Amino acid sequence: MAHMKAVRLLTALELMPLEDISEDAEQWRQDIREAIEELEGPTGLPADDPLRYDEDGNLITRERLERRLQTIIDSWPTFGLSEGALWQDRS
């Protein structure tokens, strides 16, 4: 969770009037954005997620992973869903 605090701090720092204290304000902002991206890391499944591997521990293909994830998404409950509406007002 410390990295989340660092991201919040860097985000706030980026909003400060850096032009008032440095001629290199835009470079500072770019450095801050890059640091935030590094701290947030890549999106998606972690490299060691069990969904990425088959029963024998071999890395599966991207297509197979996408099918596996779609199967999981399709199995999620859809209580309250109707055609064309996300949630119906039951009041």
pLDDT tens-digit map of 13-50: 988 999 999 999 999 999 999 998 888 776 677 778 89
Residue 63 pLDDT > 70, yes or no?
yes
Residue 58's domain comprises 45-78
Q: Is residue 33 located within the same domain as residue 56?
A: no
State the Cα–Cα distance between residues 10 and 1, nearest whole angstrom.
Answer: 15
Is the pTM of the predicted complex or chain greater than 0.75? no
Is a pLDDT exceeding 80 seen at residue 3?
no
Measuring CA to CA, how many Å separate 22 from each of 11, 19, 30, 74? 18, 5, 14, 52
Q: How many domains does the chain have?
A: 2
Do the domain assignments include residue 72?
yes
Q: Quick one: pLDDT at residue 76?
A: 86
What pLDDT does 61 receive?
92
Query: Can you give the pLDDT at residue 60?
Result: 92
pLDDT recorded at residue 90 = 52
What is the spatial distance between Cα 32 and Cα 54, in angstroms, rounded to a whole number? 39
As a whole number, mean pLDDT of residues 77-84 equals 63
Task: Tell me whether residue 73 is in a domain.
Answer: yes
Query: Does a structural domain hold residue 60?
Result: yes
Residue 90 falls inside a structural domain:
no
**Higher per-residue confidence, 8 vs 87:** 8
88 within some domain: no
